[in-house]
Structure 1
Amino acid sequence: MATIPPPPSVDPALPPAAPGKPISPLRFADFRYFWFARFTAVMATIAMVVVIGYQLYDTARTDYGMSIKEASFQLGLLGLFQFAPLAVLTPVAGWAADRFERRRVAIFSNLIDLCIAATLWWFTAQDALTLPLLFSLAALHGVARVFSGPAMSAIAPNIVPPAVLPRAIAMSSIAWQSASVIGPAAGGLIYAADAASVYIFAAILLALSAFTISRVRPVQPPPAEVRRHPLREMVDGLQFVWSERFLLGTITLDLFALLLAGATAMLPVYARDILHTGSEGLGFLRAAPAVGAAGVALGLAIRPIERNVGVKMLWAVAVFGAVTLGFGLSTHFFLSLGLLVIMGAADMFSVFVRGTLIQLNTPDHMRGRVSAASGLAISASNELGEMRAGAMAALIGPVGAVAVGGAAAIGVTALWSWLFPELRRAKTFESQFR
C-alpha cells in the first residue's frame, strides 16, 4: 500500500484562507500573473495548432493531390509527430520541473514556440510550405509542450494556499478553456484574411506570456530529503501514479476514452469536405468544445464538486463518448457545434477531478514528475488518438472513424467502472489516499 503523501508545501508568506470563507485565487498577484501567462500561451499555441492542421490537410489535398482518406491519414501522422517527443522527453521534463526554477522552464518552452511561429510565418508568407516542414515543426512544438506542462502545473500549488487550490485549478482551467475558445476562432478568421498574419498574432501572445510568467516570484524546486540519480528520480513519479489505484484508474480512463473517441484530428476534414465551412468554420468547430469546458470550469470555480466525484466522472466520460458518436454522424454545422460544446463540458469534469487529485495528493518534491506522467497520458490520448482516427479514417472514412471511436469510449467507461470499483465508490477527493 502506498504511503500517504504530505500536504502540498506552500510559501509561508502566503496568507491562510479563512475557515469557512471562500477566497478567490485572483486575490494573489502571483496567481494573476500566472493566469494571464497561461491564457496568452494557450491562445497562441492552439491557434497555431488549428492552422497547422488545416494547412497540412489542404497542402496534402491540393499540392500533393491526395484523396480525402489519404489526407486524413496525414492528419493522423501529425498527431504521431507531436506525440513522439512527448513520449521520449516526458520523464526529463518532469525531472526538470522538480530540479530547476520552474518559471525559467516555462519561459524556455514559450520561446521555442515563438521560434516555431516565426518560422511558419516566413514559409507561409513565401507560399513554401511542405509536408516534411509541417511535420518537423509539429514535432518541435511537442518538445515545447512537454516542458511547459509540468512546469506550469507545478507552479500553481506554490502561489496559493492549499485551501484555495481547488478554485485555483478551476480558474486555471478557465484560462485554458477560454483561450481554447478565442484562439481557434481568432486563428481561423485571421488565417482566412491573411494566412501568414496568424503566426504574427501567435508570436506576440507568446512573448506576452513569457514576460508575464517572469513577473511571478521565483518558484524554486523544493529540497528533497535524498538526491538520487536523475533516472531514478524520473521513475519515482511513474511509480507513485502506479501505486495509487484510484489515481491510476482516473488517468487511464481518460487515456483510453480519449484515445478512442478523439475527434479533433478529423475537424479539418469535417470543415473542408463534410460540413463545407472552410478555415473559418474550422476555427469555430475547434473552439466549440472549449466553450462547453469553459462554462463548466466557471461553475466549478464558483462551486467545486465535492461529493460523489467518481460517479460523476464516469458519467461524464460516458456522455463524452455518446456525444462523439453523434458528432461523427452529423452533417449539419450548427448541430455539430452544439455536440462539440457538450463534448467539451463532459470532458471538463474528468479534467477537474484528475487535476485536483494530483495537486492535492502529491508531495511537492514529486509534483513535476507526477504532473508529467499525467500529461503524458493526456498527450497519448490526444496525439495517439489523432493517429488512431487518421489510420481508421484511411480504412473506413472519417465519419466511421469518429462514430466508432465514440461508441468504443462508452464501452471503456463501463469496463473501467468494473475494473476499478474505487472510481464508483469515490465520494470525495482527499479520502482516496487515506
Structure 2
Amino acid sequence: MIDPALRSLPGLPSLIVGRIFSQLSATTMTIAIGWQIYALTHDVASLGYLGLAQFLPMIPLTFVAGHVADRFNRRTIVLICQACEILATGALAFAAAFHALTTGAIYTFAAFYGVLRSFEMPCQQAFLPAIAPPALLPRAQALLSSLFMTASIVGPSLGGLLYGIGPVVCYGLSTAGFAAAFGGTLSLRLLHTVLAKEPITFASVFAGLSFLNRRRDLLGAITLDLFAVLLGGATAMLPVYADGILHVGPIGLGMLRAAPAVGALLMSWGLSRYPLKGRAGLIMFVSVVAFGIATIAFGASHIVWLSIIALMVLGASDVISVVIRSSLIQLATPDSMRGRVSAVNTLFIGSSNQLGEFESGMLGTAIGPEAAVIAGGVGTIMVAAVWVRLFPRLWALDRLEDVFPEEQ
C-alpha cells in the first residue's frame, strides 16, 4: 500500500518500475551465472573471482562515471546502460541455448556488467530528488528501499528456481526484466535537473571528494556506514554457522540469508508509512549501535530462532541507517554534484560489502568464526562512539526535510 502523499508524484511509478525490475533481473542473473560458473569449474574460488570481476571495474571508473552523470543527461545514460544489459543478457541466453558458454565468457560478461553498473547507479540514485520534493523525499526513499529489498529477496530465489528449469529460461527472463526496466526508465519524466557546466579537469572529476570533505555530515554518514558494514560482516559467516554451529543445513542457510532482508523490508515499510520526524542524526547512530549489538547476539547464539531474530534486527537497523544516509546525501547535495557524490557513495558501499566479507573470512580463519563475528560487532559500536566525536554536525542532525544543498 503506497502512502497517499506519494501518489501525487507523477514520475514515481516509472522510477519504481525501472529500479525494481533492474534489481530483480540483476539478482536473478547473478545467482544464475554463479551456479553456471561453479557447474563449469567445480571450484569454490571461481565464485570469488566472479564477484571480483564485477567489482574491479568500479575502482577506476567511479570518478569518471560520476562526472559523466553530472555533465550529460542521466536518463539517457541509464537507458544506454540498460539497453546494453538487454543485449548482454540476451547473448548469455543465446550462448546457453547452444551450450557455448565458457568460463571466460562468463567472467567477461561479469566485468562488462560491472562497467555498466558503474555508470548506471550514480545516475539512478540522482533520479529521486528530481521527482520528490524535500518534504517527501525521506518517505519516498523508504518506499524505494522496501521495494528494493523485496526484489533482493525474490531475485535469488527466482534465479535458483529458474536455473533448475534451465539456464536459458533464467537468462531469457532476466533479459525480459531488463527490458521492463528500460521501459520504465524510458517513460520517466524528471521535473528538474541541473547539469554541471565547469570544464573537465582533474579537480572537477574528483570534485565529489572535495564536496564531501566540506560537508562533514555527509562524509560522516558515508564513512560510518562503510566501517559498520566492513566490521560487522556477519553474513559472510552464515555458511559456517549453518553447517558447524547451528547445524541447520542448506534449508536453514536459506532462512538465515533471508532474515536480514526480511527485517530490512519490514523496517522500510514502516519508515515509508511513518517517516522520521526529528533527531535523524541520533537515530542513525542508535541504529548503527543496534546493528553492532545484533551482530554480537548472532555471533554468540547457538539457538536457531534467536539467530534469525538477531539477523532480522541487524537488517532492520541497517536499513534505518541507509534511508537516513541516502536522504541526507540527496537533500544536501546540489543537483549538479549528485552524480559525483553518488558515485563516491556507490564505491564506498561496494568496498564495504566486498572488503567486509574478506575481513570476516580472514579474521574467522585467524581467531574462529564466532570470535570474529563478535569482534566485528564490538568494533561497529566503537566506531559509532568515535564518529559522534569526529562528526558532531551529523550527531546534531534533526529533521531531514530541513536539510538544504550547499552550492559548490
Normalising by the residue count of structure 1, what TM-score does the alignment of the two structures yield?
0.80
Q: Take 2:152 and 2:192, find their aligned partners in 1: how far apart are those partners?
A: 29
Deviation per residue, 1:198-230 (Å, 9 max, x gap): 333322211111111101126785244x42225
Name the structure 1 match of 2:199: 228
Name the structure 2 match of 1:30: 11
Q: Take 1:297 and 1:417, find their aligned partners in 2: how far apart are those partners?
A: 25
Aligned equivalent of 2:229, options 230, 239, 258:
258
Q: Take 1:118 and 1:335, find their aligned partners in 2: how far apart are those partners?
A: 43
Name the structure 2 match of 1:239: 210
Q: Take 2:106 and 2:243, find their aligned partners in 1: how far apart are those partners?
A: 19
Q: Take 1:54 and 1:325, find their aligned partners in 2: how far apart are those partners?
A: 32
Q: Take 2:328 and 2:108, find their aligned partners in 1: how far apart are those partners?
A: 35
Name the structure 2 match of 1:413: 384
Alignment of 1:103-114 (within 5 A): 103-114=75-86
Alignment of 1:165-244 (within 5 A): 165-194=137-166, 196-217=168-189, 222-224=194-196, 226-244=197-215
Name the structure 1 match of 2:122: 150
How far the C-alpha of 1:75 sits from its partner, in A, is 5.2
Q: Take 2:96 and 2:374, find their aligned partners in 1: how far apart are those partners?
A: 34
Q: Take 1:257 and 1:170, find their aligned partners in 2: how far apart are those partners?
A: 20
Question: Secondary structure of the equivalent of 1:24?
Answer: helix
Question: Secondary structure of the equivalent of 1:166?
Answer: helix
How far the C-alpha of 1:336 sits from its partner, in A, is 4.1
Identity %: 39
1:386 aligns with 2:357: yes
How far the C-alpha of 1:262 sits from its partner, in A, is 2.4
Change (3 A) 1:94 1:260: same
Question: Secondary structure of the equivalent of 2:135?
Answer: helix
Q: Take 2:276 and 2:23, find their aligned partners in 1: how far apart are those partners?
A: 25
* Contact 2:328/2:403 (<8 A) preserved: no
* Contact 1:94/1:368 (<8 A) preserved: yes
The amino acid of 1:86's aligned partner reads M
* Contact 2:294/2:313 (<8 A) preserved: yes
Structure 1 gaps of 5+ residues are 1-21, 65-70
The amino acid of 1:165's aligned partner reads L
Aligned equivalent of 1:368, options 339, 342, 346:
339
How far the C-alpha of 1:100 sits from its partner, in A, is 1.8
Q: Take 1:393 and 1:129, find their aligned partners in 2: how far apart are those partners?
A: 35
Q: Take 1:405 and 1:143, find their aligned partners in 2: how far apart are those partners?
A: 31
Name the structure 2 match of 1:10: none
Change (3 A) 1:59 1:385: farther
Question: Secondary structure of the equivalent of 2:218?
Answer: helix
Q: Take 1:327 and 1:130, find their aligned partners in 2: how far apart are those partners?
A: 39
RMSD: 3.3
Question: Secondary structure of the equivalent of 1:202?
Answer: helix
Normalising by the residue count of structure 2, what TM-score does the alignment of the two structures yield?
0.85
How far the C-alpha of 1:345 sits from its partner, in A, is 0.6
Name the structure 2 match of 1:426: 397
How far the C-alpha of 1:33 sits from its partner, in A, is 0.8
How far the C-alpha of 1:260 sits from its partner, in A, is 1.8
Structure 2 gaps of 5+ residues are none
* Contact 1:33/1:212 (<8 A) preserved: yes
Q: Take 1:100 and 1:363, find their aligned partners in 2: how far apart are those partners?
A: 15
Larger CA deviation: 127-136 vs 286-295: 127-136
Alignment length (residue pairs):
402
Change (3 A) 1:240 1:169: same
Deviation per residue, 1:252-295 (Å, 9 max, x gap): 010111112224445566667775644x6665544432222222
Larger CA deviation: 87-96 vs 130-139: 130-139
Question: Secondary structure of the equivalent of 1:29?
Answer: coil
Q: Take 2:376 and 2:46, find their aligned partners in 1: how far apart are those partners?
A: 18
Deviation per residue, 1:16-38 (Å, 9 max, x gap): xxxxxx96223233211111211
* Contact 1:54/1:268 (<8 A) preserved: no
1:289 aligns with 2:266: no
